[in-house]
Structure 1
Amino acid sequence: MSLGIVFLSEVMGTMMLTLLGCGVVANVALKGTKGNSGGFLLVNWGWGLAVMAGVFVAAKSGAHLNPAVTVGLLANGKAEYAPDVAVSFASTMTYFGGELLGAFLGAVVCWLAYKQHFDNEPDAATKLGVFSTGPAIRSYGWNVVTEVIGTFVLVFVILHFGGGVTGLGPLPVALLVVAIGASLGGPTGYAINPARDLGPRIAHALLPIKGKGSSDWSYSWVPIVGPLLGGALGGAAAQWLPLVVA
C-alpha cells in the first residue's frame, strides 16, 4: 500500500473522529444547543462512537487515528503498521502527519457546524474545552501521570484485541474509549491522543472564534507527552507480558 493512501486514510478517519468527538463536547457545553448540559457520560459515549466511526473510515491504513497508537505498535515490535505497510521512519511520519492534519480539519468542521453557538457562548474557557483538553486540577506532573495511565490502558488493551486497532472490529475499541473516559477521564478530560488535542488546539488558535481567549499553550505539552509515554509503555508491556507470565 502506498504511503499516500495511508496518509489519506488517516486524515479522513481522524477528521471523522475529531468532528464527532469535538461535536459532542460542543453539544453538551455550548450555550443554547439541544444537548446542553447533557453531562460527562454523554461526552464519553460520543467520543467512543466517534472512534468507532473513525476506525471504519480508516480501516485500510489500520486506523491508528492516534500517534500514541502508532508509537505503541512501534514499541510492541510490529513489523507492519497495517497489511503491506512496513514500519519505517517514513511510514511513522506519514501516520503522524495524517493524524494531526485530520484532527485539525475535524475541529474546523465542528466549529462551522456550531458557529452560531460559539458566537453566543460567553465563556472563553468553554469554547476552548470544545477543541482541547484541560485539567480539573492543574498539576502538570500528576496530569501527565493521568494521561500516561489512560493511554497505557488504551494501547495495552487494543493490542490484546488481536494485534491492532481493527483486530476485532471497531466496536470493542469504541467501548474501551467509553470505559477510559468514564473511569479515568475526570482529572484531565482524557486526551489519550496527541493529535486529537494538538490539531484542534491549533484550529482554536487560528480560527476567527468570537471571544475565544487563550489557547492555553502552557498546558498543551501534557496531552502530547503523557499519551506518547503511555502508548510506548502499553505497547512494550503487551509485548513482554506473555514472556514474563510464561
Structure 2
Amino acid sequence: MTTLVEGYDAVLLDLDGVVYLGEQPVPGAAEAIARLHAAGVPVGYVTNNASRAAVEVAALLNRLGVAAAVDEVITSAQAAARLLAERFPPGTPVMVVGSAALRAEVAAVELVPVVEAGLAEAVVQGYALTVGWTDLAEACVAIRAGALWVATNTDATLPSPRGPLPGNGSLVAALATALGRGPDVVVGKPEPTLLLAAAAARGARRPLFVGDRLDTDIAGAHRVGFDSLLVLTGVHGRADLAVAPAEQRPTFVGADLGALFAEPTAGS
C-alpha cells in the first residue's frame, strides 16, 4: 500500500488544532509524529501563534509526548522579527503589541522593544492574553504617525477544547477598524514568509504541509505551491471544505495525523 507521506521530503505541521488544542494533545498526534521520526522523515513545527518562544513551544510539545527540538520550531514571532531586522537598522525602536516572547524575538535581532508610541518606527502585533485597549490605542497613535504596521498573523480564532476563541486576527481587525486600513505586512500563513522559512529550515524541496484551517493553513500552502493535508481535529470540517473556494482546497483530507500513513484521500 502506498501511504500519503511517501514522496515528500519533509512534513511541516501546524500546531494549534493539529498537534494540540490549547495545552491538550490531539489524540494520536504524538504517535503519528513518532512514526515520522522513526521513518527518518524531517519534521517542522510551524505556528502562527506568536505568544510563545520557540523554546517554550518545543518544551510544550515534549511535555505532550512529542519529541521536538528547538530548531524544528518556527513561529510567526521569529519570522516577524527577522523581517523587521531586514528593514530597520539595529537600535530602531519597535512598539510590541503582544507577548514577552515577541518582545524577546525583537530584542534578539538588535531592535529595541517599546510599549508606547513615542518614536517607534514600527509596530509589531501578535497574540497575547494580556493585549488590551491601551495597547491598541498606543499602536493606533504610532501607526497614524507613520510607523510600519506588521501583524504576525490574522487568524480570527484560536482552536481550544471549548471551541474557537478570539485570535490575533480579531485584535488586528479592531485596530484596522480604528485606522480604516489593514496592516502593511502580515507574516504568518496564508502569507508566504513563514512557510517558506520553515521549508528552508528543513532543507525541503517537496514538503507536505498539514493544517486544520482552510483560510490560513491550506490557503498558505496553496500560495507557495506545497501539497497540503487538512486534518479534521481543529477549526474546519467537511462542511467548511464543501463550500471552500479553490485556493482553500487541500490536496488531501484526513481525520487526524494518522492519515499520513494511510492511502491518500483527495481533498476535493
After TM superposition, the score normalised by the length of structure 2 is 0.29
Give the number of the structure whose alpha-carbon radius of gyration is greater. 2
Structure in which a larger fraction of residues adopt strand: 2
After TM superposition, the score normalised by the length of structure 1 is 0.31
Structure in which a larger fraction of residues adopt helix: 1
Structure ranking higher on relative contact order (CA contacts 8 Å, 6+ apart): 1
